[in-house]
Amino acid sequence: MLAEQAKILENRDRGAGVFLLKLGSPLVARQARVGQFVQLLISENYDPLLRRPFCFYNIDQDNGQIEVLYQVVGTGTELLSRKKAGEKLSVFGPLGRGFEIEPDLESAILIGGGIGWAALNKIHHKLALRDIHYVPFFGARDLGFYQAIGAGEVIPIPPGNIATDDGSYGYHGFITELVEAKINEEFHFSKPTIFACGPNPMLKAVQALAGKYDLKAQISLEARMACGFGVCLGCAVKKAHGEGYFKVCHDGPVFNADEVELSKI
Amino acid sequence: MNNPDLSTGLGPIELKNPVLTASGTAGYGLELRPFFDIAELGGIVTKAVTPEPRVGNPPPRLWETSCGLLNSIGLENVGLAAFLKDILPLLQKINTRVIVNVAGRTEDEYLEVVRGLNGNEGIAGLEINISCPNVKQGGIAFGTDPVMAAALIKKVRAATDYPLIAKLPPNVTDIVIIAERVMEAGADVVSLINTLKGLAVDVNTRKPCLATITGGLSGPAIKPVALRMVHEVYQALKIPILGGGGIMTADDALEFIICGAGAVSVGTAIFRDPKAPLNIAQGIKSYLAKNNIGGIRNLIGSIDLS
Ligand SMILES: Cc1cc2nc3c(=O)[nH]c(=O)nc-3n(C[C@H](O)[C@H](O)[C@H](O)COP(=O)(O)OP(=O)(O)OC[C@H]3O[C@@H](n4cnc5c(N)ncnc54)[C@H](O)[C@@H]3O)c2cc1C
Ligand SMILES: Cc1cc2nc3c(=O)[nH]c(=O)nc-3n(C[C@H](O)[C@H](O)[C@H](O)COP(=O)(O)O)c2cc1C
Ligand code: FES
């Protein structure tokens, strides 16, 4: 965990308001793990005042580079999208607790929703290279957004495992419906671990699936953040068992699905 | 002046430099250790300590506004017993001043914490938080009523020998009156200011952005208000003041010192840069050196009103 003046190597418009930011950030890259995140200081003046949190889309330790895939949703991300290669950017990280891949993992399901794919891209690559029964899924609002995110660009996702909200590509409906069908079809003899990131309604459906089929699931959450390293106590998510709150930046952002109560995020 | 003297004081509390962390923005101070040696700071003000552990408010607890931050943490903390057992021993090993921020719902709760802290090594003073906008009872109710504030400080004064810093809320008509009353009641220092009570609404859902509806505003947006209050209290009373509210840079801190603050607290700036308090302390030193000022004490209250 440290702050580093990174160099912007590329800030590419991928369409549909999605950008890919490549940073030369050797010290952060060296420590980074899949599922952790960084806080980027987007403005040198005080608007926006706070850093903005983003997952590692890619980590290239050999070349000291990290990549962030982001969607323009407001002031900070809009400002970020206007930054050019060659400019400097303060990167603070790596932060939080990432995904855990158990050494004896036999089968896995990946479920990405929208920009949530950013948190999963790297683990998709890792799982696909393993000799396990692995099935990735991806859902987006429409074809254009699916293409902008580029899920499965390097290591493909079967077309039958893609859903869009408007039916412009793949299955017309929720991705978790496809996942449930697949569990019933293919996973009679093994219990796959689920890795998921996406909007909260999707993650709730993942929690329900994991509960129904008694599966382990790791989900990556978002919360409004200030510090990103556990001192402001702002990024609270309710504990499913017992009283009180976890801090998404410190105890997460990746949680076991049965640890957290998402209605209270 | 090559080596200006950064040492300062807040009433009976001697500090090696004027920069402290603000309560609730650096945990118990220990969390900053990965970034720099916290012994380089004038001191640490801890997260509020209450008699029992508190889980805090439901989320969302944060909302960013223009150049400001609304928070509603709700005094989440480990409670007195865990503070004494797990945290204070670690703080005792660090060569800086530790000021414990104390909060409660009732007078008795404040007194319970203060008595529990009595007799421990390594506590330089208590900051009595009579100004938290984010708890239903207590907190701000004590702070906005000069009579209640004075009555509480009087009881706390009788219960402990530690130096007392009364942390006042800015949500009052006349800050000078309340500062005067708490000093008469036995406070050694006043801490100005806590967050300003504020609100933000989502126009699409028409719901408040924070779960508790209102929250406390901090950051650069509140600095002019904080500075004005420090100035008014110093001009009227010439008492020891711990100043803060929106300090992001050494120049911001210097403004507070020039207006009469004997030391400053840095809060929200830590969320942008965990090293902010250290950078501010170093920046103050450079300013003194550059302007040939022998020490920080020469600067306190030196505003030129001519
Ligand atoms: C651990 C973590 C990892 C993240 N990873 C990515 C990523 O890889 N790619 C990506 O595009 N986004 C990611 N996000 C979300 C991203 O941080 C927000 O989209 C960004 O902070 C918005 O900033 P803004 O100034 O543009 O928006 P604002 O103007 O602040 O807000 C615009 C909209 O975005 C929503 N929003 C703002 N901040 C957050 C937040 N922290 N979490 C959720 N919603 C928010 C608001 O509710 C609002 O609707 C992540 C968030 C977290 C907590
Ligand atoms: C997230 C957060 C938590 C806080 N918690 C406390 C607290 O527990 N006790 C207290 O006296 N003040 C608390 N404060 C107020 C700060 O100590 C400080 O007075 C205020 O934020 C103004 O300074 P700043 O603008 O530098 O942050 C908190 C502020 C923030 C932003
Ligand atoms: S963002 Fe400050 S504790 Fe998580």
Query: Which residues on A lie below 8 Å from B274 (Cβ)?
Result: 3, 92, 227, 229
Complete DSSP assignment for B229-284? HHHHHHHHH---EEEESS--SHHHHHHHHHTT-SEEEE-THHHH-TTHHHHHHHHH
Q: Which amino acid would we find at residue A78? A: E
Which of B31, B71, B273 comes nearest A3 by C-beta?
B273
Q: What is the pLDDT of residues A133-166, one digit of tens each?
A: 999 999 999 999 999 999 989 999 999 999 999 9
Q: Are A57 and A107 in contact (CB under 8 A)?
A: no
Q: What is the pLDDT of residues A184-209, one digit of tens each?
A: 998 888 899 999 999 999 999 999 99
Q: Which residue has the tokens 């254009």?
A: A144
Which SS3 state, helix, strand or coil, does residue A49 take?
A: coil
Ligand 2: nearest atom to the Cα of B45: 17
- Average confidence score pLDDT of chain A: 95
Mark yes or no for CB contact A237/B59 under 8 Å: yes
Q: How far is CA A193 from the centre of its chain?
A: 16
pLDDT at site B196: 95
Mark yes or no for CB contact B271/A232 under 8 Å: yes
Dist. CA A42 → ligand 1 center (Å): 13
State yes or no: ipTM above 0.90: yes
pLDDT at site B146: 86
pLDDT at site A169: 95
In terms of C-beta distances under 8 Å and separation of at least 24 residues, what long-range contacts does A179-182 make, across chains too? A179/A109, A179/A111, A179/A137, A179/A209, A180/A209, A182/A109, A182/A135, A182/A137
**Residue A180 pLDDT > 60:** yes
Complete DSSP assignment for A73-138? -SHHHHHHHT--TT-EEEEEEEESB-----TT--EEEEEEEGGGHHHHHHHHHHHHHSSSEEEEEE
Ligand 3: lining residues by beta carbon, under 6 Å: A 225-228, 230-235, 247, 249-250
E strands within chain A?
Answer: 2-13, 18-24, 37-41, 52-55, 58-60, 65-71, 88-95, 107-113, 133-140, 162-164, 171-172, 193-197, 217-220, 236-239, 245-247, 254-256, 260-261
Mark yes or no for CB contact A232/B34 under 8 Å: no
Instruction: Take atom 29 of ligand 2 and give the residue whose Cα is closest.
Output: B24
Instruction: Take atom 4 of ligand 2 and give the residue whose Cα is closest.
Output: B24
Per-residue pLDDT of chain B (306 residues; tens, 9 = 90+): 578 999 999 999 999 999 999 999 999 999 999 999 999 999 999 999 999 999 999 999 999 999 999 999 999 999 999 999 999 999 999 999 999 999 998 899 999 999 999 999 999 999 999 975 555 555 556 667 888 889 999 999 999 999 999 999 888 889 999 999 999 999 999 999 999 999 999 999 999 999 999 999 999 999 999 999 999 999 999 999 999 999 999 999 999 999 999 999 999 999 999 999 999 999 999 999 999 999 999 999 999 999
- In chain B, the N- to C-terminal Cα span, in Å, equals 27
Question: What residues does each domain of chain B span?
Answer: 8-298
Query: Which residues on B lie below 8 Å from A75 (Cβ)?
Result: none
pLDDT at site B105: 87
Mark yes or no for CB contact A231/B61 under 8 Å: no
Domain made up of B8-298: CATH architecture: Alpha-Beta Barrel (3.20)
Q: What is the pLDDT of residues A232-249, one digit of tens each?
A: 999 999 999 999 999 999
